[in-house]
Amino acid sequence: MVLAHMFLPQIIGYGVLTLAVLKLIQRRASIALLEVKLTGVNLMKFTAN
C-alpha cells in the first residue's frame, strides 16, 4: 500500500507525459496531412493547366 503511494505520482506523471507527447504527435501528423493535401491540390491544378 505504501509502495503504491510512492509510485503513484510517477505513474501519473508518466501518463500525463505520454498523453502530451501523443497529442503533439497527433497535431504534427494532422498538420503534415494538411500540407500533403494542399500539395496534392496544387499539383492537380498545375497539371490541369
Q: Identify the pLDDT of residue 1.
A: 62
C-alpha cell read off for 14? 508518466
Q: What is the pLDDT of residue 46?
A: 84
pLDDT at 16: 95
Domain-wise residue ranges, the chain: 13-49
How far apart CA 24 and CA 22 sit, in angstroms, is 5
Say if residue 2's pLDDT is above 80.
Answer: no
- Output Rg (C-alpha) for the chain, integer angstroms: 21
Claim: this prediction has a pTM higher than 0.75? no
One-letter amino acid for residue 39 of the chain: T
Integer Cα distance of 34 and 39 in angstroms: 9
* 1: enclosing H helix or E strand: none
Amino acid letter for position 42: N
10-48, pLDDT tens digit by residue?
A: 989 999 999 999 999 999 999 999 999 999 999 888 888
